[in-house]
Amino acid sequence: MTVSSFIPPKRTLMGPGPSDVPERVLQALSRPTIGHLDPEFIRLMDETKFLLQQAFHTKNQLTIPVSAPGSAGMETCFANLLEPGDKAIVCQNGVFGMRMRENVERMGANAIMVEDEWGTAVDVEKVEQALKANPDAKLLAFVHAETSTGVESDVKALCALAHQYDCLSLVDAVTSVGGIALKVDEWGVDAVYTGTQKCLSSTPGISPVSFSDAAVEVIKNRHTKVQSWFLDLNLVMGYWGEGAKRAYHHTAPINPLYGLHEALLSLHEEGNENAWQRHRHHHNGLKAGLEAMGLEFAVQESIRLPQLNAVSIPDGIDDAQVRGRLLNDYSLELGAGLGKFAGNLWRIGLMGASACEENVSLCVTALDEVLSDMGAAIEKGAGPAAVLKHYA
């Protein structure tokens, strides 16, 4: 085998994550590595916690980045909040709700499932019935932005219900933070996790989490040890806790945290509301282009995520062939359908730095060219024209 330094191709990332990583974040990643207990690194940790609190709209003290990807943030929440024999209500309307169920069961707890069709939102009434029928449930878990289908569920209503029935709320916000409104304190979210490679536009591998005082009480008063040593927040708090008395738990991913810090700083400078508006604006540009071309969204407008666009593939068009040509000829990555939606739709991400005019133009122009070349029944030229008009 001949081996050499790896130089990745330059891509435009418009799938379900990772999203495009801006130059300033890439530069931050390449700064010199320092010790993970260096006072300067601790300063970076404190700033990162502050910036995460801003991104989550929370004052929660226990707001930290878990040193592993979004799925580990999910596992951190379930592992710390549940004990064997506990009952959790889990809402499933796509891939990630299924993963939540796996977590609950592997903790030795019971998952009461509330299932909704893929492509629809979590049904608040069904959740209320489940809460009524299970007064001993400890936790209500659901996904805010279902990346597998492009659907938003109502965090505010679901968390209010959880509290009404004396339950903790656990929200998957991997694809929502930075892209659409999420207000952890105001909406009564008790536990939440996100990812770095979606609307925050940093590199994958870190999962910010945040816990309310009520959730922290539950974690501190467990009867059994958290089954994962690495994810046990009672131990991690010793490292990410207050002030100078921090003790070694594991070696933090130092450079990836430089990257996250820079990405969060960029969001802080832009402002959360402005970032949400930017995602909406470019979603509208993409929508104008795709609909003018004759393509259709797979999800009803009122629950559509601006940052993850599920678009039906025209009849007779081969999914893999289109995505292959986009990648080879335009260096553009779109997402394939997952699970039940495989082969039926594309998932077009407008996450973080990928939510920009350049990407919308490239995507609509490339689809216009490739689809008409393959003989799809589209309105040739109408898509790019609609995009120009949107941005005029």
Ligand X SMILES: *Cc1c(COP(=O)(O)O)cnc(C)c1O
Between 61 and 71, CB nearer to ligand X: 71
Report cis status (omega within 30 of 0) of the bond before 18: yes
Between 13 and 366, CB nearer to ligand X: 13
Per-residue tokens: 309:
């666009």
Segment contacting ligand X by CB under 6 A, of 67-75, 182-190, 246-254, 270-278: 67-75
Segment contacting ligand X by CB under 6 A, of 116-124, 170-178, 245-253, 264-272: 170-178
Which listed residue (19, 147, 272, 361) binds ligand X by CB under 6 A?
147
**DSSP character for 67?**
S
Question: CB 95 → ligand X: shortest distance, Å?
Answer: 8
Q: With contact defined as beta carbons under 8 Å apart, do 115 and 127 qualify?
A: no
Segment contacting ligand X by CB under 6 A, of 63-71, 181-189, 213-221, 290-298: 63-71
Per-residue tokens: 184:
């952890």
Reduce the DSSP state of residue 305 to 3 states and report it.
coil
Per-residue tokens: 46:
């404190």
Question: CB 145 → ligand X: shortest distance, Å?
Answer: 6
Q: Rounded to whole angstroms, how far apart are CA atoms 67 and 206?
A: 5
Q: Is 69 in the site for ligand X (CB under 6 A)?
A: yes
Q: With helix as H, strand as E and coil as C, how does 131-200 read?
A: HHHCCCCCEEEEECEECCCCEECCHHHHHHHHHHCCCEEEEECCCCCCCCCCCCCCCCCCEEECCCCCCC
Reduce the DSSP state of residue 91 to 3 states and report it.
strand
Which listed residue (41, 78, 96, 341) binds ligand X by CB under 6 A?
96
Q: Is 18 in the site for ligand X (CB under 6 A)?
A: no
Per-residue tokens: 237:
């708090």
Reduce the DSSP state of residue 311 to 3 states and report it.
strand
Which listed residue (54, 61, 71, 228) binds ligand X by CB under 6 A?
71
Tell whether the torsion through CA atoms of 67, 69, 70 and 76 is positive or negative. Answer: negative
Q: Is 119 in the site for ligand X (CB under 6 A)?
A: no
Segment contacting ligand X by CB under 6 A, of 25-33, 69-77, 124-132, 161-169: 69-77
Which listed residue (77, 122, 139, 143) binds ligand X by CB under 6 A?
143
Q: Is 20 in the site for ligand X (CB under 6 A)?
A: no
Between 174 and 355, CB nearer to ligand X: 174
Phi, psi of 367 (to 5 degrees): -65, -40
Per CB under 6 A, contacts with ligand X among 276-315 are: none
Question: CB 176 → ligand X: shortest distance, Å?
Answer: 8
Q: Is 204 in the site for ligand X (CB under 6 A)?
A: yes
Between 107 and 143, CB nearer to ligand X: 143
Per CB under 6 A, contacts with ligand X among 175-194 are: 175
Which listed residue (15, 17, 188, 337) binds ligand X by CB under 6 A?
17
Q: Rounded to whole angstroms, how far apart are CA atoms 222 and 317?
A: 54
Which listed residue (174, 199, 231, 293) binds ligand X by CB under 6 A?
174
Tokens 């990928």 locate to: 354
Segment contacting ligand X by CB under 6 A, of 5-13, 68-76, 266-274, 334-342: 68-76
Q: 255 exposed, middle or buried (CB, 10 Å; 0-12, 13-18, 19+)?
A: middle
Between 152 and 369, CB nearer to ligand X: 152
Reduce the DSSP state of residue 211 to 3 states and report it.
strand
Binding region for ligand X (CB under 6 A): 17, 69-71, 96, 143, 147, 172, 174-175, 195, 204
